[in-house]
Amino acid sequence: MTDYSGVLRELVDGTWREPNTGRRYDIGINDITIRDSLEGAEAQLVAAQHKGQKLTVVSDPYTHSAVGERVYKALKADGFAVDEYIWKTPSCSDEGVAHIRDATRHCEARIAVGSGTVTDTVKYASFLDKRPYSVFATSPMNAYTTATASVSSGGFKRSITCTGAKGVFFDLSVLSACPPRLISAAFADVICRTTAQVDWLMGHILFDTPYMQTPYTLLAYDEADMISNAKRMLSGDLDALGMLTRISAIMGLGTRFSSTTHSGSMAEHMISHYIDMFADDKHPRTSHGEQVGVSTITMSQLHNQVLTLDAPPHFKATRIPVDWINNNFTEQMANNMLEQTRTKALNNEQAKALNRRLETEWDTIRHRLMDCMLPYEELHTAMAAAGCQLTATDLNLDTDFYREAVQGARFIRNRFSMLDVVDDSTGLDSFIATMPV
Ligand SMILES: [Zn+2]
């Protein structure tokens, strides 16, 4: 048996120290175990977190046959008071959460078996019920360890901060059987570190907004290896998959260190959220990670273009397209977009002050940002090797709609990004007209 938990073991034990500050962290999760197989160890792992509790194993038909049934039988054979609920039509929505709370109301703790939908539903339902839960993963994604659940209510997606799982268990032989698209999507949702970090750090440098290095210090342990092993992840190689799983779990924990999702979710995620919210029938139901892969490539190209220029961007006051927003979105959405945008919009004085500062500091600032940025070519090559979709066309997404998403994404959230820099200086039109779609 090989254990791939690595630095995660120190994090759950509370022994890991941030190298620059010496600080220790309580990540709020007791156990994160990644092994090539967990067969035969299920009851022991669960017992360490849920001894004496009445359990319900929650899965969907796919994850039930992948590993849910095995977990249920192992717990039953070990003498746990346990039943199972196989959710035929999972959806992480207000209705779905209410459904799971009701269907499993008699249990004292839930064991989620699944990927994002089942896990986030159990996470939020358990938070509302103030009950513990643990997770057996079925794909290598970061949702298992994040502090937030992504829940849709009335068509809007909300990120809700929840209590962490007691235990998160990854059986790599189960993960290696998941559809290759999920592995590629997980790779994309981790490699987006590069664009998220540049955007987040840039906001910090320009406006002194909060920023935290710790999530990136942890991700840096594995990122270079992950890139050089991108191709092996798709072939069922457990070492490569173990590395991707570990780095995905670390990416998820970033939200716990900083109490926000900024470390892994900036403009590339705003483009993806725009697609989720507004694509309607132009949306072929691509997954979160697939969308983030394509938008990460777009943002990386924009970062590389701006930061390799010797001349600083020249800011003007932000022009908020109030009519476009009011005419194209529901009243509630339009009001929300205007509110989000106004909190980061620059007025004339602020734009001038920023320009004065950049005259002398641009070179230092851009090199500081370039130091944490993956070169565009390297990113593109790694993502292609990991089987990621690279353009809107690959996603089967209407290309005009994708251009609109890149143009409109900056208005849906108050997070300052390179989309704001370019739109408030030269405008985004020429980039959008020439970017690969
Ligand atoms: Zn993501």
Do 198 and 125 lie in one domain? The reply is no
Cα of 395 vs centre of ligand 1, distance in Å, is 16
* pLDDT exceeds 80 at position 156: no
Residue 187 lies in a domain: no
- Going by pLDDT thresholds of 50, 70 and 90, the confidence category of residue 286 is confident
pTM: 0.92
Same-domain pairing of 338 and 387: yes
pLDDT the model gives residue 276: 86
* pLDDT, tens digit, 9 for 90 and up, residues 35-67: 999 999 999 999 999 999 999 999 999 999 999
Q: What per-residue confidence (pLDDT) applies to 381?
A: 97
Instruction: Compute, in angstroms, the gap from residue 142 CA to the centroid of ligand 1.
Output: 8
Cα(234) to centroid(ligand 1), Å: 20
The confidence score (pLDDT) of residue 375 equals 95
Quote the crossing angle between the two packed helices 180-191 and 288-307, to the nearest 10°: 30
Q: How far is the CA of 53 from the centre of ligand 1 (A)?
A: 33
Same domain? For 301 and 342 the reply is yes
Given this model, what pLDDT does residue 11 score?
Answer: 94
Q: How far is ligand 1, taken at its centre, from the CA of residue 265, in Å?
A: 6
**pLDDT for residue 21 is more than 70:** yes
- Return d(Cα 272, Cα 287) in angstroms, integer: 10
What is the rounded CA–CA span in Å between residue 138 and residue 57?
A: 14
C-alpha 72 to ligand 1 mean position (Å): 30
Residues 170 and 292 in one domain: no
CATH number reported for the structural domain that contains residue 49 in this entry:
3.40.50.1970
Task: Render pLDDT for 204-213 as a digit per residue (tens, 0 to 9).
Answer: 999 999 999 9
pLDDT grade for 258, boundaries at 50, 70 and 90:
confident
Same domain? 168 vs 276: no
DSSP 293-353: HHHHHHHHHHHHHHHT-SSPP--------HHHHHHHS-HHHHHHHHHHHHTT---HHHHHH
CA of 302 to the centre of ligand 1 (A): 19
Task: Kindly state whether residues 311 and 415 are assigned to the same domain.
Answer: yes
Distance in Å, CA 189 to ligand 1 centroid? 5
Mean pLDDT across the chain, nearest whole number? 94
Number of domains in the chain: 2
Note whether residue 204 is domain-resident: yes
**Helices 288-307, 399-408: inter-axial angle, 10-degree rounding:** 60
385-414, pLDDT tens digit by residue? 999 999 999 999 999 999 999 999 999 999
CA 228 to ligand 1 center in whole angstroms: 22
Residues 303 and 401 placed together within one structural domain of the fold:
yes
pLDDT number for residue 281: 74
What CATH number does residue 311 fall under? Answer: 1.20.1090
Whether 261 has a pLDDT exceeding 90, the answer reads no
Ligand 1 center from residue 274 Cα (angstroms): 13
Verify that 120 and 204 share a domain, yes or no.
no
Average pLDDT over residues 416-437: 97
Gap from CA of 280 to ligand 1 centroid (Å) = 20
Q: What is the pLDDT of residue 155?
A: 66
Residue 159 confidence (pLDDT) above 80: yes
269 CA distance to ligand 1 middle (Å): 6
As a whole number, mean pLDDT of residues 349-353 equals: 97
Q: How far is the CA of 251 from the centre of ligand 1 (A)?
A: 9
Q: How far apart are CA 270 and CA 288, in angstroms?
A: 11
Q: Which tens digit of pLDDT belongs to each residue from 292-339?
A: 999 999 999 999 999 999 999 999 999 999 999 999 999 999 999 999
Cα 70 to ligand 1 centre (Å):
29
Measure CA 178 to chain center. 19
Full domain range(s) for residue 75: 7-178
In the reported structure, the alpha carbon of residue 158 is separated from the centroid of ligand 1 by a whole-number distance in angstroms of 13
C-alpha distances in angstroms, 192 versus 116, 199, 223, 248, 265?
18, 11, 11, 11, 8
171 shares a domain with 306: no
Cα 219 to ligand 1 centre (Å):
15
| pLDDT tens-digit series, residues 1-13 | 788 898 999 999 9
Distance 324 CA to ligand 1 centre (A): 28
| Reported confidence tier of residue 196, pLDDT bands at 50, 70, 90 | very high
User: Are residue 42 and residue 110 in the same domain, yes or no?
Assistant: yes
